[in-house]
Structure 1
Amino acid sequence: MTPRPQDGLEMRASDAERERIADVLREAVAEGRLTMEEFDERLDAAYRARTHGELEPLVRDLPVPGRPAADLAPAAEGGWAERIGSPPTSRTGIAIMSGFQRKGAWTVARRFTSFVFWGGGEIDLREARFEDRDTVIRCFAIMGGLQVTAPPDLDVHVSGVGIMGAFDHSGAGDGAPDSPRVTVTGLALFGGVAVERKLRKEERKRLKEERKRLRLEGGED
């Protein structure tokens, strides 16, 4: 008896399914969710894909019509529950004619305030832990810039305002059911606050290895 493909991931992909994935990728690059380099790499992998299991990772971190946002990306390693409830390692980030970074395995306070004046700041939540399930990140950028980076499975809400500047809301979206709720708010005055989604390093590495494998298989044909 022929083994049943696990969850349909080993099922052969059709040309129509490859084209649907390509359409999602085109929409994503048009909305600024993917860079042109990322788009080219994923589009190439989509047209080379032979199974559903090879197609699914290409849009796991993107909104797909008819698919719940919480299902688009894997939950954090070990689950979100293990990353909530730690004492905060930082409550503020301030840069005046300079810069600051909060990234890696840091713990976000339930109320985190960032301020930049003629400077820049980076707040990376992809590997972060959280003091509380409900977190507010207040961003104030005056003639400077702030970058907030979240993983695809984090619940993010954006309510900031730009005055003669830009407060980007494109990174807002629902996350996994057990993820923390992060609200990004504040003011950009003659400056900018950007909120975007990016894969974690391990997921990017896995996709890179998958593309490499596909290229090698394509060369064998």
Structure 2
Amino acid sequence: MTDDAPELRASDADREQVAEILRDALAEGRLDMAEFEERLEATYQARTYGELAPITRDLPGPGGAPSVVSFTKAPAEQGTWASRIVGGEGSSTGAFAVMGGFQRKGRWTVPRKFTCFAFWGGGELDLREANFADREVVINCVAIMGGMQVTVPPGVEVVVRGIGIMGGFDHSEEGVPGEPGAPRVVITGFAFWGGVGVERKVTRAERKAARRERHGRLREDVEGAHRRMLEGHRERRHDDD
């Protein structure tokens, strides 16, 4: 199995290649049902080539040769991000909260520069379903005795340049390379007795859909494995007769 680029993201096709080797190993008696289910679950949870590679390392491929899976580096889906960089002026240029709060989430267009201010209050900027006016957008956050939370989708590059005095900016999402064609989000500003948090996560709907898909595949694979085992037993009994 090739693992010369373990940090690269695995595709659905890569996971299916590994799952097929596991199915064959179960049918041949190389894995019992418990081992098969454990490895199959790990396969569908794997995110990178490095996580997939060890799953079938001790199993032979077709003809008894060591299993080798040639992972295909799928081209980046440029169209997905390109469709979200729409140009224009954006839905709004700023948000303000004084002893209160503000929220921007759902379908909205982030302008090239968005300024938000919170004094004894807080705000939430959720970019997971947003469009972008340009390939690079700047979010200027001023938090005085207040706080803000910026949520970005996976694939977006984040750069944090804010200054904090008795407060701070979250730098934990910096250094993650952006996907080809994805926008770059630059977070600047000033925090005094306050803070600006940054997190990267998928939407709840995407999380639920991925969970349903994994469970559906696991159920289908287990049912198929049971059928293969029964067919194998029937064939052996027929040969014995």
TM-score (norm 2): 0.61
CA distance in 2, matches of 1:158, 1:143: 20
Contact 2:44/2:214 (8 A) holds in 1: no
Aligned mates of 2:140, 2:77 — CA distance in 1 = 25
By how many angstroms is 1:51 displaced? Answer: 6.8
* Corresponding residue for residue 55 of structure 1: 45
What TM-score do the two structures reach when normalised by structure 1?
Answer: 0.66
- Deviation digits for residues 99-147 of structure 1 (CA, Å, limit 9, x no counterpart): 0001111011101001101101000111111111121101111111100
1:37 maps to none
Partner of 2:191: 188
Counterpart position of 2:80: 79
Q: Secondary structure at the match of 2:44?
A: helix
- Superposition pairs for residues 128-139 of structure 1, below 5 Å? 128-139=130-141
Q: Secondary structure at the match of 2:93?
A: strand
1:206: how far off?
A: 2.1
Structure showing the higher strand proportion among its residues: 1
- Cα 1:7–1:214, aligned 2, differ >3 Å: closer, same or farther? closer
Q: Answer whether contact 2:119 2:144 (CA < 8 A) is retained.
A: yes
> Percent of aligned pairs with the same residue?
49
Judged with a 3 Å threshold, the aligned counterparts in structure 2 of structure 1 residues 219 and 159 are, in CA distance, closer, same or farther, namely same
- Work out which of the two has the higher radius of gyration on C-alpha atoms and give 1 or 2: 2
- Cα distance in 2, alignment partners of residues 79 and 111 from structure 1: 22
Equivalent-residue separation in structure 2 for 1:115 and 1:185 (angstroms): 12
1:12 to 15, 18, 28: 18
- Gapped regions of structure 1 (runs ≥ 5): 1-5, 15-46, 65-70
- CA distance in structure 1 between the aligned counterparts of 2:221 and 2:190, rounded to whole angstroms: 49
- 1:21-60 paired onto structure 2 within 5 Å: 48-50=38-40, 54-56=44-46, 59=47
Number of residue pairs aligned between Structure 1 and Structure 2? 171
CA distance in 2, matches of 1:141, 1:209: 39
2:217 and 2:164 map into 1 onto residues whose CA distance is 43
Q: Contact conserved, 1:49 with 1:214, CA < 8 A, in 2? A: no
Residue 133 to residue 217, structure 1, CA distance change in 2 (3 Å): same
Indicate conservation of the 8 Å contact 1:142/1:191, yes or no: yes
1:218–1:159 Cα change, 3 Å = same
